[in-house]
Amino acid sequence: MPQALDLNPDERAALDWIDTRADGMIATVKDWVRINSGSRNAEGLEAMRRELERVFAETGGTIRAVELDPVTSVSPEGVVGEQRFTPSFHLSVRPEAPVKIVLTGHHDTVFPVSDSFQDWRMLDDDTINGPGAADMKGGILVMLHALLALERSPHAKQIGYDVLISPDEEIGSLGSGPVIHALGSKAHVGMTYEPALADGSLAGARKGSGNWSLKVSGKAAHAGREHHLGRNAITAASAFALGLDDLNRQREGVTFNVARIDGGGPPNVVPANAVVRFNVRVGDTQDQAWVSHELDRLTQETGQRDGIAAELHGGFTRPAKPMTPANARMFEWTRAAGSALGLDIRWNDTGGVCEGNNLWAAGCPNVDTLGVRGAAIHSHEEIAILSSFPERAKLSAVMLMKFASGQFDAREARSLAASV
């Protein structure tokens, strides 16, 4: 483990204060997991945003709702329209301060309003099972209490921070992505509150990700009388999907996942419409360029089939986040902060993506798994470790206090990012 940081009496007092709020954090997360805030549940998302306004008011900062621009969407029937979002929550504190930090998170979950997973239960004295307990309603509480601890430290006025908590992270941050980019472009460093693993490990380098929908249009016809007059959109879409799958294993680290094909209808009708939905993961910008070329090629080939038209919608929404010197410096500081608390912080590279990718795309070095320790996220077995609520709040609080005192030089990290 690295040599432990020195913590002065004021900093230790701020950390001790977090312990006094541990029971309140647990009570709050139990209330919050009962609010269904699936990414498509506007009513539940707005209920959660009102909760955020209530609890973050304790910081004394300026709170506002950030309206998100709609994005293009393709319905299962192939209709191109708009996807709209509820607003993001934004908190601003001391925007004029010399050190600027952006903290991000999300209040949406993957569980729709119709899902049976709507409540919490205790698996043991330290383990709660509930929708969003770890990902990331628990993480939001960690963020909040780290900031409140910072406000009790002597150098707090040296830091200005923006908090953005968004309603669409689980569906790709399509609406909030530009807002994250704008805040990240002005910040020296970023901190994001996705859950750590149950053993406390953090995510290191992350792949980039993109989502697409290919709209395929053919011609309907009676499957018996006039089959020869029809042009089968499902067949063309399937050929495109097979072409995507053939791209796997052609470039190391690049993966294509065909997730769904919508379309078709009665078995006696040649289907006129189909939509292929797929995801691609890449390691770097060179991979992105290769993927874009291959997608253009496959789309053109599909559109050249007799009587078939093909339109590709979507793109890369989260570029790769490599372990650059700037991001490595952030992890060094995280590990040093953990050492001051007796924690051995480790990390592993991952193919997953999050808002940390968006921050890095804006040139903002960041650590993106500062939330509670948890496991089995995105499933009915999702758990959060209750003792990690104060533990992880203290970890972030140490980092924030050291950024404030200058012992961690946030501006140095930003300059390292600029040199990449």
What's 302's domain CATH number?
3.30.70.360
Q: Identify whether residues 141 and 218 lie together within a single domain.
A: no
Spatial distance between the Cα atoms of 152 and 10, rounded to a whole number of angstroms: 8
**4 in any annotated domain:** no
Is residue 162 in some structural domain? yes
Q: Are 235 and 220 in contact (CB under 8 A)?
A: no
- 81 lies in the same domain as 118: yes
Q: How far apart are the first and last CA of the chain?
A: 28
Task: Enter the pTM of the model.
Answer: 0.93
Same domain, 218 and 75: no
Same-domain pairing of 154 and 48? yes
Tally Cβ neighbours within 10 Å of residue 7.
17
Give yes or no: residues 27 and 147 share one domain: yes
Burial of 226 (0-12, 13-18, 19+ CB in 10 A): exposed
Does the bond joining 136 to the residue before it have cis omega, within 30 degrees of 0?
Answer: yes
Domain boundary residue, one of 296, 318, 340: 318
Pair (357, 264) in one structural domain: no
Structure tokens at 217: 């249009």
Please, which pLDDT band fits residue 1 given cuts at 50, 70 and 90? very low
CB 269 within 8 A of CB 227: no
Tell me the pLDDT tens digit for each residue of 275-304.
999 999 999 999 999 999 999 999 999 999
* Same domain, residue pair 74 and 164: yes
Residue 2 belongs to a domain = no
What is the per-residue pLDDT for 244? 98
Asked if the structure places residue 144 within a domain, the reply is: yes
CB 5, CB 402: distance < 8 Å? yes
Q: Does residue 3 sit within a domain?
A: no
Q: Do residues 135 and 226 share a domain?
A: no
Q: Of 293, 318, 343, which residue sits at a domain end? A: 318
The reply to whether 92 and 189 lie within a common domain is: yes
Both 48 and 152 in one domain: the answer is yes
Residue 336, in any domain of the structure: yes
CATH number at residue 358: 3.40.630.10
Domain count, the chain: 2
Averaged pLDDT, 30-44: 98
Q: Considering only CA atoms, give the Rg of the chain.
A: 23
Residue 71 in any domain: the answer is yes
pLDDT in tens, 228-279: 999 999 999 999 999 999 999 999 999 999 999 999 999 999 999 999 999 9
Do 70 and 170 sit in the same domain of this protein?
Answer: yes
Mean pLDDT, to the nearest integer, of 116-120? Answer: 98
DSSP 3-state assignment of 72?
Answer: strand
Pick from 318, 353, 380: which residue ends a domain? 318
Per-residue pLDDT reduced to its tens digit, 58-107: 999 999 999 999 999 999 999 999 999 999 999 999 999 999 999 999 99
Packing angle of the helix pair 9-20, 22-33 (nearest 10 deg): 40
Q: In which band, very low, low, confident or very high, does the pLDDT at 3 lie, cut at 50, 70 and 90?
A: low
Whether residue 56 lies inside any domain: the answer is yes
DSSP letter at 85 equals -
User: Is the domain of 300 the same as that of 367?
Assistant: no
Residue numbers of the domain that contains 178: 9-205+320-418
Cα 368 to the center of its chain, rounded Å: 9
